[in-house]
Structure formats: structure tokens, C-alpha cells
Structure 1
């Protein structure tokens, strides 16, 4: 072994690192960027956790104040895209391969502006992405670990807007305002609640003639003319088969309360709506047991959207078929139909025979045995479970859903 192989290396002394939670403002009142990656973690950052609104305001403030020489409009676009996908904990999945396509920029540009947000103290690492395969060995599939960022705001922004902060680092809390911050907050709240001024063009303004009151005698407490009084609004007219007295309506509610737990597809409907739909059927003299038996044999979806609407539609169809059709032969000018002759029957029989030769009837296939159906169901469930475990971070809507996917992969057998 060479003699200088274990010789100590004399490197320049590293600058002292700022303690956690300390203001990142230098002695000349200039913002100090967070260049060290070790200070861009949740456990070592000097910034506090935040939500969407403060994150966007802090990003806008940092960019407009030119705290970073390379921050610009693209940096603000990246911050807005991350803010739109923040979850309740203030975390967001990086999703680099889909974010740069959505923003219309290159991948390198996205990485550069994400690094700018980290240096400004607006993003910290919650989970580091890794290319380690999280799929079971031997599955022939690969999926890495997603990078998760946490939205934070630096202490310099809290001081600039007059926030009083308790604690240090990521878990610090905003507890109040200074006098200057209170004035800024009041001004911002007034600006948000200020109504927008709308100026209508002269053509949109109308000056309709107004009726004048009739002066009778010396009293000025006179009523307006008869035509100026608003007409009372008419109540909705209930159709004839659904009209009921209070006692009949109460009886329909009791019948519906007896039917609903016994007919599964009606359990998603409200009790009063179901009772209203059943009023015509109850008026015919059917008992609750008869109605439950009839409703149980109807061919309806398993969970219909509106069971009451289906019952009302079925009543309309029933009453329409029960009405006798008008006899077309009653009028003198309308000719009556005649039965088909023998030539027509022979022609129809020939057509039916030809159609039978062209497309012979197909015998129905026998039902598969029970064990085949069971194997198909188990295979479909296994396929669905496999597809659920193979989802990527981009396909998950929330961070909690992605954590559940990762836990399911760890618990999966080899």
C-alpha cells in the first residue's frame, strides 16, 4: 500500500450552519438561500409547514422581491401546479414525468425550478424518491418510490407580513399578528371582499312608468292601484291519482315504512317520496303485503337512482295499457281492415322458411358448473387486486392512497 493512501485531507473549513428555526437574513439585510440539501428536509428546515393559500402568497412574495436571481414566471407556474395538488397535510407528489408535460416545459427546466423553490425555503423533502423496485421479486415488473414534497414558508416571509410564529422549524405555528401585520391583513381582507364595480350601458337601463297612488281626501296612506298588486303564486297542482287527504297520506307513509325494509331496491329512496309514488297503488285496494310481493318480482336495476320515479313510470304504463283503444271502424268514412287471404299466408310461410334456412336457431349453451363459475370469480378478483397493487404514484389521487398501495406491496407474498 502506498504511503499517502491514508494521509489526511486538509479541506477548507465549512461555513457554520444556521441553527434550526433561525432567521435566514444576513447582517446586510439580504436573504440567504438554502443551498445545502441537508437543510431541505422536514427535520432540518427552518421554514414552517403551511397550506395552499400561504404557500402561493409566499411564493409570489419571494419571486417579486427577487430573492433568487433565477426565479421568474415559470417558477410561479410550477408553484401553482404543486399548490393545486396539495393534500390536507400540505404534501404533494412530485410526478415529474407528467408535470413537465402538463406545464409545457422540458424536464430539465422543471427540475431547475423545483430546486429554486427548495432554495427559497418553500419546498422540503418529505419522502425521497428511489429507483429501488417495490414490486415482488420474480413478478417481472418494476416500480420505484415517488418523491413527496412538503409545502413550507420561510421565516423571512412571516416577518415581512407581520406574522407572530411560535416554535422553530417545520412544526412552528402561526399564532397571531403584529401591529403592522394586522393592518396588512385587514387591507387584504377588504381587497378580497370588495365588490366589483359593474357599469351598465344606457341601453340596459329601463325607466318603466310607475303607477301613482290615488289621493282620496287628505290622507296619504292610500293603497296602490288595483293592477299594481302582485298576484298570488299558484301552488303546484298534484295529479289526480296522487291526491290524498291527510289521513290517506299518513296511511301511505305507514305502508311505505312497511314495504321499504322488505324490498331491497326501494331502500335507497326517502320514505315520503316512496309513499307519494305508492298512493295510486294503495288507492286500488292493494295491501302492503301485496304491494311488497309485486315490487319484489319487478325487473329493475339492483340500485336504481330513483325508485319512486320508476314506480310512478310503471303506474303510467299500466294505466295507459288498461285504457281501451279507440275502434277505428266506428266512423263511417274509415274503412275496416280485412283478414289476410290464402295467397298472403303462403307468401309469409315461404319467407319464414327461407329465414330459418339462412339463420337456423341456435341452441342455448348449457350453464357452466359451479366450480367453473367460482374459478372465474376468483381469477377476476385476483386480477383486480393485482391491478390495484401495480398502480403508480401518478395514478393515485391522494398521498394516502399511494401509501396504501405501498403497504399492500410490502404485505404481498413473494
Structure 2
């Protein structure tokens, strides 16, 4: 084995001091031989047990390197182990990838130095191979004969597992059960318990000394006891604070604002609307089964206009809905707005918000902030390209004429007779009196429960009729006729 002073790249001054390394017991009782056989550095054949926490891995590295079991391991080896400990947090098994290029850039070393210190960790039994890296292009293997140069190149990385040699566990007084990578700690000896207590006391002492040496932060506000009292101002003495309540009481009352989300409907009015909506629901097949409260809310424009439930049911019957909507209330609200804005339904102004019409502009007028600039650009084009500018101007004039024709209001459709007060003009063909007279002279409208009862009765009658027609008697076969 080569002497330490003969290694040129190791400075004996910067090497770890064995006397200052925590938890280093008498190592003369624990002889250790370097693991130079590459076969013993695999995860399946290693004699070290696995570690899953980076703190345990760093403690094992500091112990093994500080004890001087490897003549070439030093501060750089510990720094490499610190990088490996950071990568262990990404895996629950304590595995971490090893990239020589990335690690060399992080440590500021050459690739050969990174390889050497990784070999020192393997020889100390602190790192074991999980998977060997390869320069083979895995993309070529994945795509096979379909691989092309556009797929690129990708190699496989080396995976290491953090392990701890048995010598470290024996020096710390730990009882280990099992052999190899799957071994686990089951307890400690008396000497190990004393070392653990000494380590805990030393850690507590170091933390206490660190808290005592830290400077006191006085950047915060002073306590109320040291705040200098300020003299009272003239406003507080003259009764400014005293008369604030009177001034606030004499101030003009601002109008009471309606709460956000409120519609201004009282509880009694809402209950009456729900009763009307229930009648509408019974007489309209595609609204049955929906929420009465939501249906009453969507029918509020009709209730605001003074419509009764008979008029609303007649209007909904005119919509010719082919299928039951998934959400009845949303469909009713959207259909009312669409019909009012298209002129198919007439309600008092202000009940339904009109659709917002986008402003039409050809970008060459002063209606937008780009108008003057666009006009100047068109003038420059007219001076430079006369025929093309003339055709563009003619096209713009035609577009303006078409847009102006579409913006002209159409003829207002008015009704000669308005039967419902407050509606302009009304879209219900019969008034409330006419509907009441028809209800008196004709059969009443059958509700859904009555219809279902009639359907069940008709079905039972049909089944009884089929049973009577399908009954038969057994007649024995007749004998052969005589010749």
C-alpha cells in the first residue's frame, strides 16, 4: 500500500483530522480491508447494508474517510459524497444517478478526478452499483430498424446505491441482522448507547453555543414600555373625537344599496312565483321533473310582465321542444332572451338585456385610435400605387355601404290589439278571460299523475283483452274417416 505522503494530489494539512471526527472509536479493534474486487462492488454481492437517508450516508463517509482507511480519500471525496447525498432524496431506496460531466462541472474538477473519488467510495464499501452506464444508443434499440438520425442519441446513466460497511456499524455499537445489502439494524450495544448519548450531548452543546454567538436582532419595533409618549393634539383636546358620533348621525343618509346577488324579490313573492311555476310544470311535459325553484327564477321575466301561469304554459307550448333539455331552467332563460332579442317574443323594456352588438369599423376612420395613422398610410399608398389604391378605396366604399345597410333599424312589428297591459305588443293569442271561458266549457287539462293513471288503466285493459282472446281448450284428435 502506498504511503500517504507519497500521494502528490493529497495535502496532509487539509485531510480530515481523525481526532476531531465525531463518533470515531478505537479502530484498531476493527480491521478493514479495501474492496478492490469489482465483483464485490455490485448491489447483489456487496457486504454493506443499504442506506436510505442522506444524513446516515454522510456520517458513514466522514467516519470511514476520517479514520484513514483509504490513503487517497480526502476532503474532495467527502464533497463528492455530499453531492450524492443531495441526489438520494429523489429516490425512496437511496439510489442516485452518477453523471461524470455534471458532477465535474459542479465540483470544478476533471472527469478523471471524479471517477477516481467515486472509486474510493466503492473501495470503502460506501457505494455499490445498481446499474452500469453504457454508451450504447438506447434509442436505436427502442426503434430498431425504424431508427433514423432525427431520433438522436441517448445513453444509459450509472445508478449507485448508498451503503454502509459492517465495520462502521461495529464501531458505533450497532447490532445488525442479516448479511449484505438487505441487512438491517435491530438494536445497539452498551458501548453504542454510550456513544449515541455522547453524540446527542455534543450536538446539544454545539447548538447552544451557536445560539449564544449569534448577534441579537434589534431591527424590530420597540416594546410598548419604551415608546416615548406623544403629547395630545389640539383636535383631541377640543372635542374632535367626542363629536364624531353626532356628526355621523347628522350626516345625510346614503341610499341603501341592494346586497350583491339579490334580486329584490321578497319571500312571499318568490313563494307565489314557485306556485305559478308548479302549475306551468304540470302542463308542460318537458319541464316536468326539473327543480321548481330554478324554473320559477327563469320565468321571472313573465311574472314581471304580469303573465299568469296559463299564458306562460301556452307560450312554452308554442316553442315545440323536440327533446327534454338537460337543464330546463337554463334553456328557458336562454330561449326567452333569444326570442326577445330576435323579435319573436315581446316583453316590456328593461326586463331582458339586449345582445351587445360589436362596433363595425373599416380602420380608416377616426372611430378608433388607429384611424388617423391608417388614413395616413392609405394616403401614402394612393400616392405611390395609384391603381391598387383606387381599387382598395372602391372596395372600402362597398364595405361601408353594406355595413350601413345592415345597421339600419328594421321595420317595427306592432300588434293592433294589446290584451296584456304593460306588454308591447303581446304575443299571447288569447286573453285571461278567454282562457277561463274555454276551461269552463271544455274538459280540464289533465295533470301528469292523472295521465299516468290513465295509461296504466289502459295497459291493464289491453292485457286482459289479449288474455281472453288467447285462451283455448284442448280437443282430442278425431279418428280416421272410413273409406
Q: Which has the larger radius of gyration?
A: 2
Q: Relative to total residues, which structure has the larger helix share, 1 or 2? A: 2
| Structure with higher RCO (Cα < 8 A, 6+ apart) | 1
- TM-score, reference length from structure 1: 0.45
- TM-score, reference length from structure 2: 0.39
